[in-house]
Amino acid sequence: GNKIQKIKSESECVVGICIGSNELIKAKNVIVATGMGTEGILNSFNSYYSKYLKSRVGMMAYLPNMHTVRGFVFMEPVKPVLLPALGNGTLASIFGMVLPPVTKEKNFSVDYEKAKLIIKGIKQNFNISEKQTYGATFYVSGKTDYVNEDSINSNSVNPGYNIIDHGEFDRINGLYTIITGKMTLAFHSSKNVSEKILKKDLSLDINQKVKTKYDRNMLEIEPWNNFNQN
């Protein structure tokens, strides 16, 4: 895709974004949700909020030979997180892994010790065969947080997320920035920014119907094996 060159505004209102060779895509409302690229975009118009954005670099593994039908999340630190991926594979990471800060744009290499930690955590906590972790591919990913002590968006979700309304300090009405912290909070934050744009309360509907049952054989450690598969 084309790289965003700048946010275009006139008379204290956003009018769109400029991409590529300064092509303008017009819009009455613009939502910035670009992860680690957010700081650069906010710096392009000297945003008040730029100094409160901090990014860290993390890592994730894709396991093509491990099939999961739903996610597994251990809330204990340094435990694995598994999520279903396209093509019947699995995405895996470690909850609570130490993430070094990102201070400039650069290419990051895969940390071999952290890669081993992901595979070790999966083998220790799940009843799987050796071949299910074979062929794992590791990716470096980023995470951006808003670190100002005064939350700019009140919410009851933990960990939190933030919605920046640039009409307040930057005087650009119709421009918003979403900082989820974690992708799992995307549905909360998208609801909140939609409410700000539409100026009305919206419901957060989640489909509770699960077509497939959990994979009992994946669960090795109590109390999960006590669940009835009815």
pLDDT digits (tens, 9 = 90+) for 131-165: 999 999 999 877 888 888 665 554 554 557 889 99
What 3-state DSSP class applies to 104? coil
Instruction: Tell me the backbone φ, ψ of residue 139, rounded to 5 degrees.
Output: -125, 145
* Spatial distance between the Cα atoms of 69 and 18, rounded to a whole number of angstroms: 41
What tens digit of pLDDT does each residue of 51-110 get? 998 888 888 999 999 998 888 888 788 889 998 987 889 999 988 888 888 877 777 888
Check residue 229 and give its pLDDT: 44
User: Which element (helix H / strand E) includes 61?
Assistant: strand 53-63
Q: Choose the weakest-confidence range: 44-58, 103-117, 207-221.
A: 207-221
Residue 42 DSSP code: H
* Spatial distance between the Cα atoms of 34 and 144, rounded to a whole number of angstroms: 9
- pLDDT surpassing 80 at residue 222: no
Instruction: Give the list of residues 6+ apart from residue 80 with CB closer than 8 angstroms, or none.
Output: 72, 74, 92, 93, 94, 95, 118, 121, 122, 125, 126
Check residue 153 and give its pLDDT: 55
- Looking at the whole model, is its pTM more than 0.75? no
pLDDT, average across residues 17-26: 88
Check residue 183 and give its pLDDT: 59
Are 45 and 51 contacting, i.e. CB atoms less than 8 angstroms apart?
Answer: no
pLDDT, average across residues 18-38: 89
- pLDDT surpassing 70 at residue 184: no
Check residue 208 and give its pLDDT: 56
Q: Which two tokens stand for residue 34?
A: 């670009």
Residue 1 banded pLDDT, cuts 50, 70, 90: low
